[in-house]
Chains A and B, each alone.
Chain A
Amino acid sequence: MNYSAKVMDHFTNPRNLGTLKNPDGVGEVGNPVCGDLMKIYIKISEKNSQEYIQDIKFQTLGCGSAIATSSMITELARGKTLDQALKISRDDVANELDGLPPAKLHCSNLAADALKKAIKDYQNNK
């Protein structure tokens, strides 16, 4: 199993790790059978009458790529409008990390799903 240097960087130095006080949305995804569980917290603000992700944090139990994809999505999503953030795909995350090993593309690349879930959580509770 060979990870890219970027995956190893995000795995060993994860960005935006932790929780948010009073988050506006929380998205939790994963499956214990696969061994990867992820939680994304978001804080929403408004600028020019558009809602955007002002702050984002994550917590992850998982393998190297699960942690790296979680870290990467927080970087990709921060500052984005909700519409833009909802468009971030699993492929975008993998590409930004200079690729993932084939076996990892499915099972541990859940961060985009967690982000979507957090945004939906916010929208449902608005």
Chain B
Amino acid sequence: MSKNVYLDYAATTPIDKQVLKSMLPFLKQNYGNASSLHTPGRKANQAVEKSRATIAHATGMQNKEVIFTSGATESNNLAIKGTFQALNAKFNSLKKLHFITSNIEHHCVLDSFAYLKKKYPKNVEITYLPVNEKGLINPDILAKALKKNTVLISIMMINNEIGTAQPLKKIAQIIKKQKKARSQDQNPMPIYFHSDATQAPSYFSIQCSAYGLDLLTINAHKIYGPKGVGALVIKKGVLIHAINHGGGHEFRKRSGTLNVPGIVGMGKAIELAEKNRDKNIEKITKLRDYFLNQISQKLKRIKVNGSLKKRTPNNINISFLGVEGESLLLLLDKKGIYVSTGSACSSNSLQASHVQLALHNNHLRAHSSIRFTLGKFLLKSDLDYAVQEISKAVNRLRKISQGINQKSECKKS
């Protein structure tokens, strides 16, 4: 009997039945445009506002501080480019604007910064914080990187590849001190703290005040909601310009007809994430630990990438030495087991994962890395099957690579 075991919940998740049910009326009879003044429009608008209130509650913010977008990529683009545009307009004549981020952020964050640097070389400077071999930022290094013109710090809550949880609370304390110093020095530049929390809501609180956040990115499809919808939470008073212009939707911060079914689904997904968080943490932690334990018993020469302690419960990232990730992914795919890899061969860039290299700068280890991400629809028996097939596939590929000198690795310099 063929089995399907989906172990790629960090890529996307299947939709929850309750989420789908909440969306259907807005795809069928309640098709109104939320901006229209007539009855169908008002019904749509009410549903959007209900979802907005749910997200505001989950993030501990006001309804007006929640801006719906097309997803995390757009939210991150808006957070970075939008604050730059607003602050550049305000302070251009005074100073360069300094940004701090980490070198393991998602490409949509790194590429937004790279775009600004390229487009406005005279107005932008960026510091990329390194991570240690556990995949964690050192807050002391961040504190040292701060400048008088630092305006935005963007650090992801949970890394999408290795699942590490960054010390946002410690960073918030550092920023608080900086804010105080600035007010004493009468430095008029604001300093904002943004976090991409895309991978977080199922397992971590997304209360902005708990992390001292001014801006927060979330989306729906990583938490059993629909694709194509996300939000950027923007604290009142944060200076930000829209990057989408048009009808002035979303408090003039994001024009475009609202994706009503998506927004309704996202509200439901967040509601369920909040309600089931403790239960999910317990269930998924047990499954993840069981999975890692079984793999460790069956296979030698494996390395876990990223801290096991400061990590989301649903992620385990393993390098199977002597095996290339794409090969393993393909063999597992044939067995109905779906994973992802940090190997270059799975991308079109010919570059191994920037996250893996930031941790250990070992190319072969990066190429041999496989990300397993778990979710609420998995059973222990699914993992038993997966472990058995992973073990077979790894042994098979190691037979093929036997005799290859694998010591010619690039060591961390």
Which residues of A are in contact with B by a Cβ distance under 8 Å?
A: 1, 3, 8, 11-12, 14, 17, 19, 28, 32-39, 59-67, 103-104, 106-108
Contact = CB atoms under 8 A, between A and B. Distances in A.
Interface of B: 322-327, 330-331, 334, 343-346, 348, 350, 352, 363-364, 366-367, 399-406, 408-410
A19 B345 contact: no
B400 A60 contact: yes
B400 A59 contact: yes
A62 B405 CA distance: 13
A18 to B, nearest CB: 8
Given A28-B405, A35-B367, A64-B330, A107 B350 contact: yes
B324 A32 contact: no
15 contacts: A12-B331, A12-B334, A17-B399, A33-B352, A34-B350, A35-B352, A59-B403, A62-B345, A63-B326, A63-B343, A67-B400, A103-B348, A104-B345, A107-B345, A108-B345
B406 A61 contact: yes
Q: Which DSSP category, helix, strand, loop or mixed, fits chain A's interface?
A: mixed
A3 B334 CA distance: 13
Given A1-B346, A32-B408, A33-B363, A39 B403 contact: yes
Contacts of A66: 324, 327, 345
B103 to A, nearest CB: 18
B348 to A, nearest CB: 5
Contacts of B367: 32, 35
Contact of A35 (B324, B331, B405): B324
A32 B344 contact: no
Residue in B322, B327, B344, B350 with the greatest tally of chain A CB atoms within 10 Å: B327
6 residue pairs, one from A and one from B, having the closest CB atoms: A35-B367, A63-B345, A61-B401, A63-B326, A59-B403, A61-B404
A39 B403 CA distance: 8
Contacts of A28: 404-405
A3 B329 CA distance: 13
A33 B346 CA distance: 14
Contacts of B410: 32-33
A11 B350 contact: no
Nearest to B345: A63
A107 to B, nearest CB: 6
A60 B404 contact: yes
Given A67-B327, A107-B350, A39 B404 contact: yes
Nearest to B321: A61
A65 B258 CA distance: 44
Q: Which of A32, A60, A61 has the most CB of B within 10 A?
A: A61
Contacts of A63: 324-327, 343, 345
B345 A37 contact: no
Nearest to A33: B363
Contacts of B346: 1
Nearest to B331: A12
A36 B364 CA distance: 9
B403 A62 contact: no
A91 B147 CA distance: 54
B326 A64 contact: yes
A35 B345 contact: yes
Given A61-B406, A63-B343, A36 B324 contact: yes
A103 B350 contact: yes
